[in-house]
Structure 1
């Protein structure tokens, strides 16, 4: 499969390494606004995001940008069908056959995704994260390295779970919320909040 990465920063480097490990995948280009004009170097295309429409359907895209909101905006701006986006899974990831993973999502090294988990589109499951059984994770989320979502957790669109955070069973986290690194979430959380600490509390409620 021929792949074009959208974005040429640190997150893109990690996805490139994942692709390079898999002989069936080949990076044929990068799209980023840092490239004002199109060019070819060693057979690889470099150009602005507006060049995406010039590629035929045999080329797939991955939005290789870590920021959840920017990833969503790029997807909307591209106006492409979901099947134009590739799902990239590191060879060391362990994924249940009953799990479902959306288009454009990337699953990093040493991730574990258990039975009947559902992962949305354009989501990042980062290095060594654990997604237990029956989790539902919506589009544009980011589960950071070594975070653990125990059973039946539900995560709405755009949520960012910080590195090493833990979410206990049955918890629901509202859209576009941020969970700080190392936090332990033991209560449901609303949309558009930031929660930190052990146990996790809303940032506005933290003592000075």
Structure 2
């Protein structure tokens, strides 16, 4: 039975905990810097992230249970822990084809479908009932929100967020650290560091503007 430490104690952590339990694993601690000291709550250890040095022993692994792509990346850099200490979590009600590559630290939630030869990078969130079709590439630190659909051969760059219910047609490239608004329909390539919304999706904001 896999033992997991969650970094972050919020609503998102609750969903990840359910995913872990569906695999037969258990959460032993939830660490968050809003806590000042170590304490116990419902048989879980809680406290600041610095406690990781005491708790990360033997077969214990980590998942960063924070929705923000930027914050997940910053915590990975801060911890500087070996890749193999991060768990990959796939809910038992997700459908992930055998040819799919899922990298470390990523969580795939219930109802997700990931089809043949798709690739999902590290520390990504593939949220409930989303669909990632064949040959898609989803890079590190991404978030595919509930009900979003990536049709075949779509690429989503590092740190990007595809909003709830958005649809991306085949062969589209979405750049890095870009946000696609909820319910949008993406029918042309979207550059990096922008926000795009609507049907069809249009850029409404560039980083720093």
**TM-score above 0.5:** yes
Moved over 4 A (4+): none
Query: 1:16 Cα deviation (Å)?
Result: 1.2
Question: Are 2:137 and 2:156, in contact at CA under 8 Å, matched by a contact in 1?
Answer: yes
Equivalent residue number for residue 187 of structure 1: 188
Provide the residue aligned with 2:99 in structure 1: 98
Q: Distance in 2 between matches of 1:42 and 1:18?
A: 18
Query: Whole-Å Cα distance in 1 between the matches of residues 41 and 199 of structure 2?
Result: 49
Instruction: Name the counterpart of 1:35.
Output: 35
The corresponding residue for 1:174 is 175
Distance apart, 1:204 and its partner CA: 4.7
Name 2:115's counterpart in structure 1: 114
Q: Is the CA contact (8 Å cut-off) linking 1:31 and 1:48 kept in structure 2?
A: yes
Taking the TM superposition and a 5 Å limit, the aligned residue runs for 1:41-190 are 41-54=41-54, 55-190=56-191
Distance 1:15 1:27 in 2: 10
Say if 1:140 and 1:157, in contact at 8 Å, map to a contact too: yes
C-alpha distance in 2 between matches for 1:67 and 1:86: 18
Alpha-carbon shift at residue 67 of structure 1 (Å): 0.6
Using the alignment, how far apart are the partners of 1:30 and 1:52 within structure 2? 10
In the alignment, is the contact (CA less than 8 A) between 2:23 and 2:90 conserved in 1?
no
1:16-58 Cα shifts (integer Å, max 9, x gaps): 12222332x0111111012211123454211111111222141
Q: 8 Å contact 2:121–2:141 — kept in the other structure?
A: yes
Q: 2:88 touches 2:107 (CA, 8 Å); kept in 1?
A: yes
CA contact (8 A) 2:107 2:126 kept: yes
Structure 1 contact 5–62 (Cα < 8 Å) conserved: yes
Aligned length: 204
* Structure 1 spans left out of the alignment, 5+ residues: none
TM-score by structure 1 length?
A: 0.95
- Measured on the aligned residues, the alpha-carbon RMSD in Å equals 1.3
Could you tell me which residue of structure 2 aligns to residue 22 of structure 1? 23
